[in-house]
Amino acid sequence: MEESVSKHPSLPRPNAGELKLENSQRLLAEARRLVPGMTMTMMKRPEMFAPGAFPVYLARGQGALVEDVDGQQYIDYVCGLGANSLGHNHPAVLAAIRQHLEEGLLHSLPTPVEVTASRALVEATPGAEMVRFFKTGADATSAAVRLARFITRKDRIITVGYNGWHDHFMYDTPGVPSAVAEYTRRLPLFEEPEEAALLARVEQDAGQLAAVLLSVPFNRVLNRDFLHQLRATCTKHGVMMILDEVITGLRLGRGGAQEFFDVKADFVCLSKAIAAGMPLSAVAGPTQHLTKISELQVSTTFGGEMLSLAVCEAVLREYREHDHIGHMVSLGRRLREGINARAERLGSPLRVLGYDGIPLFRFSKDLAENAKLTQPFQAGMARRGVLLRRDLNFLSPAHTVEQIDYTVDMVEEVLRENAQRTATAA
Protein backbone atom coordinates (compact mmCIF):
# COMPACT_ATOMS: atom_id res chain seq x y z
CA MET A 1 0.00 0.00 0.00
CA GLU A 2 1.11 3.57 -0.63
CA GLU A 3 2.38 5.35 2.46
CA SER A 4 0.62 8.52 1.28
CA VAL A 5 -2.81 7.16 2.21
CA SER A 6 -2.11 7.84 5.87
CA LYS A 7 -2.14 11.59 5.10
CA HIS A 8 -5.87 11.48 4.36
CA PRO A 9 -7.90 11.50 7.61
CA SER A 10 -10.75 9.42 6.18
CA LEU A 11 -8.45 6.52 5.33
CA PRO A 12 -7.07 3.91 7.75
CA ARG A 13 -3.49 3.95 8.90
CA PRO A 14 -1.57 1.50 6.68
CA ASN A 15 -0.45 -1.78 8.22
CA ALA A 16 2.99 -3.21 7.59
CA GLY A 17 2.76 -6.94 6.90
CA GLU A 18 0.39 -9.27 8.71
CA LEU A 19 -2.20 -8.03 11.19
CA LYS A 20 -1.38 -7.98 14.87
CA LEU A 21 -4.06 -10.05 16.59
CA GLU A 22 -2.64 -10.75 20.05
CA ASN A 23 -5.30 -8.90 22.02
CA SER A 24 -8.10 -10.24 19.80
CA GLN A 25 -6.87 -13.79 20.29
CA ARG A 26 -6.51 -13.36 24.06
CA LEU A 27 -10.08 -12.10 24.37
CA LEU A 28 -11.31 -14.83 22.04
CA ALA A 29 -9.77 -17.55 24.21
CA GLU A 30 -11.50 -16.14 27.30
CA ALA A 31 -14.81 -15.71 25.48
CA ARG A 32 -14.80 -19.35 24.41
CA ARG A 33 -14.79 -20.25 28.13
CA LEU A 34 -17.48 -17.76 29.12
CA VAL A 35 -19.89 -17.22 26.21
CA PRO A 36 -21.81 -20.00 24.41
CA GLY A 37 -20.99 -19.57 20.75
CA MET A 38 -18.26 -17.06 21.71
CA THR A 39 -20.36 -13.94 21.03
CA MET A 40 -23.95 -12.72 21.27
CA THR A 41 -24.54 -12.51 17.52
CA MET A 42 -23.99 -15.51 15.27
CA MET A 43 -22.98 -13.42 12.27
CA LYS A 44 -20.10 -11.85 14.23
CA ARG A 45 -18.31 -15.14 14.93
CA PRO A 46 -14.75 -15.44 13.55
CA GLU A 47 -15.78 -18.21 11.13
CA MET A 48 -17.99 -15.67 9.35
CA PHE A 49 -14.83 -13.85 8.26
CA ALA A 50 -11.24 -15.14 7.93
CA PRO A 51 -10.29 -16.90 11.18
CA GLY A 52 -6.73 -16.15 12.26
CA ALA A 53 -6.31 -13.42 9.64
CA PHE A 54 -9.06 -11.00 10.63
CA PRO A 55 -9.70 -8.91 13.76
CA VAL A 56 -12.09 -10.50 16.26
CA TYR A 57 -12.73 -7.57 18.62
CA LEU A 58 -13.21 -3.89 17.86
CA ALA A 59 -12.53 -1.21 20.45
CA ARG A 60 -13.95 2.00 19.00
CA GLY A 61 -15.26 3.74 15.91
CA GLN A 62 -15.53 7.20 14.41
CA GLY A 63 -17.46 7.91 11.25
CA ALA A 64 -16.80 5.04 8.84
CA LEU A 65 -13.53 4.05 10.52
CA VAL A 66 -13.15 1.51 13.33
CA GLU A 67 -10.15 0.45 15.41
CA ASP A 68 -9.55 -3.03 16.75
CA VAL A 69 -8.22 -3.95 20.19
CA ASP A 70 -4.73 -4.22 18.73
CA GLY A 71 -4.80 -0.62 17.50
CA GLN A 72 -5.31 -1.22 13.77
CA GLN A 73 -7.75 0.87 11.73
CA TYR A 74 -10.28 -0.19 9.10
CA ILE A 75 -12.94 1.24 6.82
CA ASP A 76 -16.07 -0.44 8.13
CA TYR A 77 -18.54 -1.95 5.69
CA VAL A 78 -20.06 -4.26 8.31
CA CYS A 79 -21.67 -1.27 10.06
CA GLY A 80 -22.99 -3.25 13.03
CA LEU A 81 -24.71 -5.67 10.60
CA GLY A 82 -26.52 -2.70 9.13
CA ALA A 83 -27.56 -1.04 12.37
CA ASN A 84 -25.04 1.82 12.23
CA SER A 85 -27.11 3.94 9.89
CA LEU A 86 -25.24 7.19 10.57
CA GLY A 87 -21.76 5.80 11.05
CA HIS A 88 -19.98 5.51 14.38
CA ASN A 89 -20.23 8.16 17.09
CA HIS A 90 -22.47 10.48 15.07
CA PRO A 91 -23.00 13.89 16.73
CA ALA A 92 -26.82 13.64 16.47
CA VAL A 93 -26.80 10.31 18.30
CA LEU A 94 -24.45 11.55 21.01
CA ALA A 95 -26.50 14.72 21.47
CA ALA A 96 -29.76 12.77 21.84
CA ILE A 97 -28.23 10.48 24.46
CA ARG A 98 -26.66 13.33 26.42
CA GLN A 99 -29.86 15.38 26.31
CA HIS A 100 -32.03 12.58 27.70
CA LEU A 101 -29.58 10.65 29.87
CA GLU A 102 -30.29 12.54 33.08
CA GLU A 103 -34.04 12.12 32.63
CA GLY A 104 -33.68 8.39 33.25
CA LEU A 105 -33.64 5.22 31.19
CA LEU A 106 -36.93 3.50 31.94
CA HIS A 107 -39.71 4.96 34.03
CA SER A 108 -42.63 3.36 35.85
CA LEU A 109 -45.19 4.98 33.55
CA PRO A 110 -45.06 5.93 29.85
CA THR A 111 -42.89 8.92 28.93
CA PRO A 112 -43.39 11.68 26.34
CA VAL A 113 -40.67 10.25 24.08
CA GLU A 114 -42.89 7.22 23.38
CA VAL A 115 -45.36 9.60 21.75
CA THR A 116 -42.86 11.82 19.94
CA ALA A 117 -40.82 8.89 18.58
CA SER A 118 -44.02 7.20 17.43
CA ARG A 119 -45.07 10.39 15.65
CA ALA A 120 -41.69 10.62 13.91
CA LEU A 121 -41.72 7.00 12.74
CA VAL A 122 -45.32 7.21 11.52
CA GLU A 123 -44.42 10.33 9.52
CA ALA A 124 -41.47 8.52 7.88
CA THR A 125 -43.24 5.22 7.09
CA PRO A 126 -45.60 5.00 4.08
CA GLY A 127 -49.09 3.88 5.08
CA ALA A 128 -48.36 4.03 8.81
CA GLU A 129 -50.75 5.61 11.28
CA MET A 130 -49.69 3.76 14.44
CA VAL A 131 -46.56 2.06 15.71
CA ARG A 132 -45.52 -0.29 18.51
CA PHE A 133 -41.91 -0.42 19.63
CA PHE A 134 -39.91 -3.50 20.63
CA LYS A 135 -36.23 -4.25 21.01
CA THR A 136 -35.12 -6.68 18.29
CA GLY A 137 -36.10 -7.44 14.74
CA ALA A 138 -37.30 -10.89 15.78
CA ASP A 139 -39.57 -9.26 18.39
CA ALA A 140 -41.17 -7.13 15.68
CA THR A 141 -41.62 -9.92 13.11
CA SER A 142 -43.08 -12.24 15.77
CA ALA A 143 -45.54 -9.57 16.87
CA ALA A 144 -46.49 -8.99 13.24
CA VAL A 145 -47.18 -12.70 12.70
CA ARG A 146 -49.37 -12.87 15.81
CA LEU A 147 -51.26 -9.78 14.68
CA ALA A 148 -51.82 -11.22 11.21
CA ARG A 149 -53.15 -14.46 12.64
CA PHE A 150 -55.53 -12.54 14.88
CA ILE A 151 -56.82 -10.33 12.06
CA THR A 152 -57.32 -13.15 9.55
CA ARG A 153 -58.28 -15.93 12.00
CA LYS A 154 -55.92 -18.17 9.99
CA ASP A 155 -52.77 -19.89 11.23
CA ARG A 156 -50.28 -20.54 8.46
CA ILE A 157 -47.62 -18.18 7.18
CA ILE A 158 -45.19 -18.00 4.28
CA THR A 159 -41.81 -16.49 5.03
CA VAL A 160 -39.24 -15.18 2.57
CA GLY A 161 -35.67 -14.50 3.66
CA TYR A 162 -34.37 -14.40 7.22
CA ASN A 163 -37.01 -13.05 9.59
CA GLY A 164 -35.45 -13.76 12.99
CA TRP A 165 -34.54 -16.65 15.27
CA HIS A 166 -37.95 -17.37 16.86
CA ASP A 167 -39.57 -20.79 16.50
CA HIS A 168 -42.04 -20.04 13.71
CA PHE A 169 -39.22 -18.75 11.48
CA MET A 170 -36.50 -21.29 12.34
CA TYR A 171 -38.84 -24.28 12.53
CA ASP A 172 -36.28 -26.64 10.99
CA THR A 173 -33.47 -25.98 13.49
CA PRO A 174 -32.55 -27.84 16.72
CA GLY A 175 -34.68 -27.19 19.79
CA VAL A 176 -37.87 -26.29 17.92
CA PRO A 177 -40.87 -28.66 18.26
CA SER A 178 -41.48 -30.48 14.98
CA ALA A 179 -45.16 -29.49 15.07
CA VAL A 180 -44.22 -25.86 14.44
CA ALA A 181 -43.17 -26.73 10.88
CA GLU A 182 -46.79 -27.35 9.98
CA TYR A 183 -47.59 -23.65 10.25
CA THR A 184 -44.72 -22.10 8.28
CA ARG A 185 -43.52 -22.50 4.72
CA ARG A 186 -40.23 -20.81 3.81
CA LEU A 187 -39.83 -19.95 0.12
CA PRO A 188 -36.82 -18.51 -1.75
CA LEU A 189 -36.73 -15.51 -4.07
CA PHE A 190 -33.09 -15.60 -5.15
CA GLU A 191 -33.98 -16.24 -8.81
CA GLU A 192 -36.70 -14.66 -10.97
CA PRO A 193 -38.54 -17.98 -11.67
CA GLU A 194 -39.17 -18.31 -7.93
CA GLU A 195 -41.51 -15.31 -8.08
CA ALA A 196 -44.16 -17.32 -9.92
CA ALA A 197 -43.80 -20.18 -7.44
CA LEU A 198 -44.48 -17.85 -4.53
CA LEU A 199 -47.57 -16.40 -6.17
CA ALA A 200 -48.87 -19.88 -6.94
CA ARG A 201 -48.32 -21.01 -3.34
CA VAL A 202 -50.27 -18.02 -2.00
CA GLU A 203 -53.15 -18.93 -4.30
CA GLN A 204 -52.97 -22.57 -3.25
CA ASP A 205 -52.78 -22.02 0.52
CA ALA A 206 -54.92 -18.88 0.75
CA GLY A 207 -57.71 -20.51 2.74
CA GLN A 208 -55.33 -21.24 5.64
CA LEU A 209 -52.79 -18.47 5.08
CA ALA A 210 -52.59 -15.57 7.51
CA ALA A 211 -49.63 -13.74 6.05
CA VAL A 212 -46.72 -13.54 3.66
CA LEU A 213 -43.76 -12.11 5.58
CA LEU A 214 -41.22 -10.97 3.02
CA SER A 215 -37.65 -9.76 3.43
CA VAL A 216 -36.39 -8.89 -0.03
CA PRO A 217 -33.43 -10.90 -1.36
CA PHE A 218 -30.21 -8.92 -1.64
CA ASN A 219 -28.50 -10.70 -4.52
CA ARG A 220 -30.82 -9.03 -7.04
CA VAL A 221 -33.33 -6.20 -7.32
CA LEU A 222 -36.86 -7.58 -7.24
CA ASN A 223 -39.20 -6.88 -10.11
CA ARG A 224 -41.63 -4.15 -9.06
CA ASP A 225 -44.45 -5.76 -11.05
CA PHE A 226 -44.00 -8.98 -9.07
CA LEU A 227 -44.46 -7.17 -5.76
CA HIS A 228 -47.60 -5.50 -7.08
CA GLN A 229 -48.89 -8.91 -8.18
CA LEU A 230 -48.16 -10.27 -4.73
CA ARG A 231 -49.99 -7.32 -3.18
CA ALA A 232 -53.03 -7.95 -5.38
CA THR A 233 -53.01 -11.69 -4.70
CA CYS A 234 -52.84 -11.18 -0.94
CA THR A 235 -55.65 -8.64 -1.04
CA LYS A 236 -57.81 -10.94 -3.17
CA HIS A 237 -57.54 -13.79 -0.64
CA GLY A 238 -57.53 -11.86 2.65
CA VAL A 239 -53.85 -12.60 3.33
CA MET A 240 -51.74 -10.01 5.16
CA MET A 241 -48.71 -8.82 3.19
CA ILE A 242 -46.01 -7.92 5.70
CA LEU A 243 -42.69 -6.41 4.66
CA ASP A 244 -39.76 -7.30 6.90
CA GLU A 245 -37.85 -4.01 6.62
CA VAL A 246 -35.41 -4.76 9.42
CA ILE A 247 -32.60 -4.27 6.87
CA THR A 248 -34.24 -2.22 4.12
CA GLY A 249 -35.75 0.46 6.36
CA LEU A 250 -33.86 3.77 5.88
CA ARG A 251 -31.66 2.03 3.29
CA LEU A 252 -33.65 1.49 0.10
CA GLY A 253 -35.33 4.80 0.78
CA ARG A 254 -36.44 6.94 3.68
CA GLY A 255 -39.71 5.03 3.37
CA GLY A 256 -37.88 1.73 2.86
CA ALA A 257 -38.93 -0.93 0.38
CA GLN A 258 -42.48 0.43 0.23
CA GLU A 259 -41.14 3.68 -1.17
CA PHE A 260 -38.53 2.02 -3.39
CA PHE A 261 -41.01 -0.34 -5.04
CA ASP A 262 -44.07 1.91 -4.69
CA VAL A 263 -45.95 -0.91 -3.00
CA LYS A 264 -48.15 -0.81 0.10
CA ALA A 265 -47.82 -3.49 2.75
CA ASP A 266 -50.48 -4.17 5.37
CA PHE A 267 -47.82 -3.41 7.94
CA VAL A 268 -44.02 -3.33 8.17
CA CYS A 269 -41.37 -4.48 10.63
CA LEU A 270 -38.45 -2.14 11.28
CA SER A 271 -35.24 -2.25 13.30
CA LYS A 272 -31.46 -1.77 12.84
CA ALA A 273 -31.17 1.58 11.03
CA ILE A 274 -34.03 3.35 12.83
CA ALA A 275 -31.95 3.85 15.98
CA ALA A 276 -28.39 3.92 14.60
CA GLY A 277 -27.14 1.05 16.76
CA MET A 278 -29.36 1.47 19.81
CA PRO A 279 -31.64 -1.54 20.47
CA LEU A 280 -35.02 -0.76 18.94
CA SER A 281 -37.54 -2.32 16.58
CA ALA A 282 -41.11 -1.56 15.57
CA VAL A 283 -44.25 -2.71 13.81
CA ALA A 284 -45.90 0.13 11.90
CA GLY A 285 -49.07 0.29 9.81
CA PRO A 286 -52.59 1.68 9.47
CA THR A 287 -54.84 2.12 12.47
CA GLN A 288 -57.33 -0.51 11.30
CA HIS A 289 -54.66 -3.19 11.77
CA LEU A 290 -52.27 -1.85 14.40
CA THR A 291 -54.95 -0.96 16.94
CA LYS A 292 -55.68 -4.68 17.28
CA ILE A 293 -52.30 -5.29 18.93
CA SER A 294 -53.88 -3.87 22.08
CA GLU A 295 -56.16 -6.92 22.16
CA LEU A 296 -53.20 -9.35 22.13
CA GLN A 297 -50.70 -10.49 24.72
CA VAL A 298 -47.90 -8.52 23.04
CA SER A 299 -45.94 -6.51 25.58
CA THR A 300 -42.34 -5.75 26.53
CA THR A 301 -40.89 -4.01 29.57
CA PHE A 302 -38.14 -2.36 27.56
CA GLY A 303 -40.17 -1.10 24.59
CA GLY A 304 -40.37 2.33 26.21
CA GLU A 305 -36.66 2.60 27.05
CA MET A 306 -36.02 6.30 26.59
CA LEU A 307 -32.55 6.62 25.06
CA SER A 308 -33.28 4.34 22.13
CA LEU A 309 -36.50 6.20 21.38
CA ALA A 310 -34.73 9.56 21.61
CA VAL A 311 -32.02 8.34 19.23
CA CYS A 312 -34.71 7.07 16.84
CA GLU A 313 -36.17 10.58 16.70
CA ALA A 314 -32.73 12.02 16.04
CA VAL A 315 -31.99 9.51 13.26
CA LEU A 316 -35.31 10.16 11.54
CA ARG A 317 -34.69 13.90 11.75
CA GLU A 318 -31.27 13.42 10.15
CA TYR A 319 -32.77 11.44 7.28
CA ARG A 320 -35.55 14.00 6.85
CA GLU A 321 -33.15 16.95 6.70
CA HIS A 322 -30.32 15.38 4.67
CA ASP A 323 -30.23 13.20 1.56
CA HIS A 324 -28.35 10.37 3.22
CA ILE A 325 -30.06 7.79 0.99
CA GLY A 326 -28.86 9.55 -2.17
CA HIS A 327 -25.33 9.78 -0.76
CA MET A 328 -25.19 6.07 0.07
CA VAL A 329 -26.68 5.02 -3.27
CA SER A 330 -24.17 7.18 -5.15
CA LEU A 331 -21.26 5.70 -3.21
CA GLY A 332 -22.61 2.19 -3.62
CA ARG A 333 -22.90 2.61 -7.37
CA ARG A 334 -19.31 3.86 -7.50
CA LEU A 335 -18.19 0.86 -5.43
CA ARG A 336 -20.12 -1.66 -7.54
CA GLU A 337 -19.04 -0.30 -10.89
CA GLY A 338 -15.43 0.08 -9.82
CA ILE A 339 -15.07 -3.40 -8.33
CA ASN A 340 -16.98 -5.19 -11.07
CA ALA A 341 -14.89 -3.53 -13.79
CA ARG A 342 -11.61 -4.43 -12.07
CA ALA A 343 -12.72 -7.98 -11.30
CA GLU A 344 -13.91 -8.60 -14.85
CA ARG A 345 -10.64 -7.29 -16.26
CA LEU A 346 -8.70 -9.64 -13.98
CA GLY A 347 -10.91 -12.64 -14.79
CA SER A 348 -12.09 -12.90 -11.19
CA PRO A 349 -15.57 -14.29 -10.44
CA LEU A 350 -16.13 -11.61 -7.77
CA ARG A 351 -19.16 -9.44 -8.43
CA VAL A 352 -20.97 -6.81 -6.38
CA LEU A 353 -24.72 -7.37 -6.72
CA GLY A 354 -28.08 -6.11 -5.51
CA TYR A 355 -28.97 -2.68 -4.19
CA ASP A 356 -26.34 0.06 -4.33
CA GLY A 357 -26.85 1.11 -0.71
CA ILE A 358 -26.57 -2.51 0.45
CA PRO A 359 -23.85 -4.09 -1.74
CA LEU A 360 -23.63 -7.88 -1.79
CA PHE A 361 -20.19 -9.38 -2.57
CA ARG A 362 -20.24 -12.76 -4.27
CA PHE A 363 -17.65 -15.11 -5.73
CA SER A 364 -20.01 -18.06 -6.29
CA LYS A 365 -23.70 -18.94 -5.99
CA ASP A 366 -22.67 -22.09 -4.11
CA LEU A 367 -22.47 -21.06 -0.44
CA ALA A 368 -19.61 -23.41 0.49
CA GLU A 369 -17.58 -22.40 -2.56
CA ASN A 370 -18.33 -18.74 -1.91
CA ALA A 371 -17.06 -19.02 1.69
CA LYS A 372 -13.89 -20.78 0.49
CA LEU A 373 -13.12 -18.09 -2.08
CA THR A 374 -14.13 -15.17 0.14
CA GLN A 375 -11.98 -15.96 3.19
CA PRO A 376 -8.60 -15.15 1.60
CA PHE A 377 -10.19 -12.08 0.03
CA GLN A 378 -11.47 -10.88 3.42
CA ALA A 379 -8.06 -11.54 4.97
CA GLY A 380 -6.27 -9.56 2.26
CA MET A 381 -8.69 -6.67 2.58
CA ALA A 382 -8.35 -6.61 6.36
CA ARG A 383 -4.54 -6.36 6.02
CA ARG A 384 -5.18 -3.27 3.91
CA GLY A 385 -7.58 -1.73 6.40
CA VAL A 386 -10.99 -2.72 5.02
CA LEU A 387 -13.60 -4.80 6.89
CA LEU A 388 -16.01 -6.70 4.64
CA ARG A 389 -18.59 -9.42 5.21
CA ARG A 390 -18.63 -12.41 2.88
CA ASP A 391 -22.05 -11.45 1.52
CA LEU A 392 -24.15 -8.42 2.46
CA ASN A 393 -22.30 -5.20 3.28
CA PHE A 394 -23.48 -1.71 4.17
CA LEU A 395 -22.73 1.92 3.50
CA SER A 396 -23.41 4.81 5.85
CA PRO A 397 -23.63 8.58 5.47
CA ALA A 398 -20.14 8.70 7.02
CA HIS A 399 -18.47 6.89 4.11
CA THR A 400 -16.58 9.10 1.66
CA VAL A 401 -15.65 8.99 -2.02
CA GLU A 402 -12.01 8.64 -0.97
CA GLN A 403 -12.84 5.54 1.07
CA ILE A 404 -14.76 4.00 -1.83
CA ASP A 405 -11.92 4.62 -4.29
CA TYR A 406 -9.39 3.27 -1.82
CA THR A 407 -11.51 0.15 -1.34
CA VAL A 408 -11.77 -0.41 -5.09
CA ASP A 409 -7.99 -0.09 -5.45
CA MET A 410 -7.41 -2.52 -2.59
CA VAL A 411 -9.87 -5.03 -4.09
CA GLU A 412 -7.83 -5.08 -7.28
CA GLU A 413 -4.61 -5.48 -5.30
CA VAL A 414 -6.00 -8.39 -3.27
CA LEU A 415 -7.48 -10.14 -6.31
CA ARG A 416 -4.10 -9.93 -8.06
CA GLU A 417 -2.27 -11.17 -4.97
CA ASN A 418 -4.61 -14.12 -4.44
CA ALA A 419 -4.52 -15.08 -8.13
CA GLN A 420 -0.72 -15.10 -8.04
CA ARG A 421 -0.75 -17.22 -4.88
CA THR A 422 -3.13 -19.71 -6.46
CA ALA A 423 -1.02 -19.91 -9.62
CA THR A 424 2.14 -20.48 -7.60
CA ALA A 425 0.51 -23.22 -5.50
CA ALA A 426 -0.65 -24.99 -8.68
Q: What is the pLDDT of residues 337-376, one digit of tens each?
A: 999 999 999 999 999 999 999 999 999 999 999 999 999 9
Taking 70 as the threshold, does the pLDDT of residue 1 lie above it?
Answer: no
Q: Which amino acid is located at 180 in the chain?
A: V
β-partners of residue 155 are none
Cβ-in-10-Å burial (0-12, 13-18, 19+) of 81 comes to: middle
The segment(s) of the chain belonging to CATH 3.40.640.10 are 91-321
* pLDDT at residue 422, as a whole number: 84
Name the pTM for this structure: 0.94
For 229-269, what is each residue's pLDDT tens digit?
999 999 999 999 999 999 999 999 999 999 999 999 999 99
Distance (Å, rounded) from C-alpha 118 to C-alpha 124? Answer: 10
CA distances from 53 to 29, 292, 314, 383 (A): 16, 51, 37, 8
* pLDDT at residue 189, as a whole number: 97
In the three-class reduction of DSSP (H, G, I as helix; E, B as strand; rest coil), residue 150 is classed as helix
Averaged over 188-200, what is the pLDDT? Answer: 96
Class of domain 3-76+325-351+371-413: alpha beta
Q: Give the pLDDT band of residue 16 (cuts 50, 70, 90).
A: confident
In 3D, which of 191, 278, 183 has the Cα closest to residue 226? 191
Taking 90 as the threshold, does the pLDDT of residue 7 lie above it?
Answer: no
* pLDDT at residue 6, as a whole number: 40
Taking 50 as the threshold, does the pLDDT of residue 283 lie above it?
Answer: yes
What percentage of the chain exceeds 90 in pLDDT?
A: 95
* pLDDT at residue 424, as a whole number: 86
Which CATH fold topology does 91-321 show? Aspartate Aminotransferase; domain 2 (3.40.640)
Q: Give the pLDDT band of residue 176 (cuts 50, 70, 90).
A: very high
What percentage of the chain exceeds 70 in pLDDT?
A: 98
* pLDDT at residue 4, as a whole number: 35
Distance (Å, rounded) from C-alpha 338 to C-alpha 242? Answer: 35
* pLDDT at residue 3, as a whole number: 37
The segment(s) of the chain belonging to CATH 3.90.1150.10 are 3-76+325-351+371-413
